[in-house]
Amino acid sequence: MKLYELVGKDKSQGFSPYVWRARMALAHKGLEAEMVPLTFTEIPEIRGVSAKTVPVLEHDGGFITDSWDIACYLEDNYPDRPSLFGGDVGKAYAGFFNSVTFYTLIIPLFQTLAYDIFTGLDEADQAYFRASREPRLGKSLEEAHEHQPENLARFQKQLWPYNATLKTQDFMGGASATYVDYILYGLFQWAKGVSPVRLLDEDDPLYRWRAEMDSLFDGLGKIIRQR
Ligand SMILES: N[C@@H](CCC(=O)N[C@@H](CS)C(=O)NCC(=O)O)C(=O)O
């Protein structure tokens, strides 16, 4: 099994939030995958598949090219290992969460981090990132960076449902972590690896939750150093 991931200048610091979902899902199932670090401009060169994004999971001669599809693939193919979703109802909840977090969390966090991501990329990727991301931002990376405090505040404002939930339960999945926790955790891994911004206050229930997530699977998530 191989998991293709996204890196910048430091090849040890895979920073894609979506790859982190897959990485945690593999660990949850007790599966080991060889990590293959790629820069943005290397992704289309993965041999044997036409992929535009990572994660890509290569297994048994086939490729799965989307984080949600990877989670479903692992759940379907390893039913005897710990469940990622906790059954059909949990899968439906995770699927909803997969979509809703894109608009409420990924977009404001991307606007917050865009310039910091850029500064961690090699030269070829910097040119690609500027050309592809500035139209999405509707402004230059530097202008986006000037608005970092407002974008961070917008992101933080969206965290209240998670803080409220984690006041009364240990994980988003209840008593233990499920794929919903991995969706959320990927965002924090992303920010940690690419940016010096601090997303949480020590009093936030999410702060306690993130520390517990960091310690899962022998501290897998601690591979990422705070930039
Ligand atoms: N829907 C995809 C999205 C994955 C995605 O957007 N990955 C980003 C990295 S965070 C990527 O590979 N981007 C490549 C590019 O923009 O060229 C999934 O969930 O797997």
Please check whether the domain covering 90-217 is classified as CATH 1.20.1050.10: yes
For residue range 9-19, what is the model confidence (pLDDT) as tens digits?
999 999 999 99
Cβ of 67 less than 6 Å from ligand 1: yes
The CA 211 to ligand 1 mean position distance, Å, reads 26
The Cα 55–Cα 43 span in angstroms is 10
**Local structure of residue 59 (DSSP, 8 states):** E
> Homologous superfamily of 2-77 in CATH?
Glutaredoxin (3.40.30.10)
Model pTM greater than 0.85?
A: yes
Cβ of 43 less than 6 Å from ligand 1: yes
For residue range 23-81, what is the model confidence (pLDDT) as tens digits?
999 999 999 999 999 999 999 999 999 999 999 999 999 999 999 999 999 999 999 99
Q: How confident is the model at residue 197 (pLDDT cuts 50, 70, 90)?
A: very high
For residue 96, what are the contacts with CB-CB under 8 A and spacing of at least 6?
Answer: none
Q: How confident is the model at residue 7 (pLDDT cuts 50, 70, 90)?
A: very high
In percent, the amount of the chain with pLDDT more than 70 equals 100
Contact status, residue 176 vs residue 183, Cβ threshold 8 Å: no
Q: Name the packing angle between helices 123-137 and 107-119 (round to 10°).
A: 150
Q: Where are the domains of the chain?
A: 2-77, 90-217
Atom 9 of ligand 1: nearest residue by CA position: 16
The CA 168 to ligand 1 mean position distance, Å, reads 33
